[in-house]
């Protein structure tokens, strides 16, 4: 990666974090956004995470409908897919506080 590309990547990250900071000014309880900024997570990583959460939410509902009561494999899958700087416990707590994928993360909280 050239210096120019690296600089452009950093500018894009700063712009994304600035947007999140503006949202935090209006609602300081957006815990997941705080976590993203603190850990330097990119917009693409967040997009991938939200996509994974959508998929996991669907799988959870399907498995519940089929009578499953044990969802540890889904928990393991989402844990393994987190960006390296995030820990599952802090993600769970932040998402629950912010109301993101609440059903999913309340179920996963049982495994911590």
Number of domains in the chain: 1
pLDDT in tens, 81-93: 998 899 999 999 9
Q: How far apart are CA 112 and CA 73, in angstroms?
A: 13
Burial category of 74 from C-beta neighbours within 10 Å (exposed 0-12, middle 13-18, buried 19 and up): buried
Above pLDDT 90, what percent of the chain? 94
Structural domain harbouring 106: 3-111
Q: How far apart are CA 51 and CA 7, in angstroms?
A: 27
Return the SS3 of 34.
Answer: helix
pLDDT in tens, 58-73: 999 999 999 988 899 9
pLDDT in tens, 7-26: 999 999 999 999 999 999 99
CATH of the domain at 68: 1.10.3750.10
């Amino acid at each position: 990666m050239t210096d120019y590309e690296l600089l452009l990547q950093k500018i894009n990250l700063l712009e994304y974090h600035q947007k999140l900071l503006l949202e935090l000014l209006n609602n300081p309880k957006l815990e997941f956004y705080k976590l993203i900024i603190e850990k330097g997570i990119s917009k693409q990583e967040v997009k991938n995470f939200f996509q994974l959460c959508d998929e996991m939410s669907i799988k959870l509902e399907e498995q519940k409908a089929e009578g499953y009561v044990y969802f540890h494999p889904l928990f393991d899958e989402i844990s393994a897919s987190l960006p390296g700087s995030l820990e599952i416990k802090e993600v769970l707590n932040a998402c629950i506080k912010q109301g993101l994928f609440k059903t999913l993360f309340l179920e996963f909280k049982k495994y911590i």
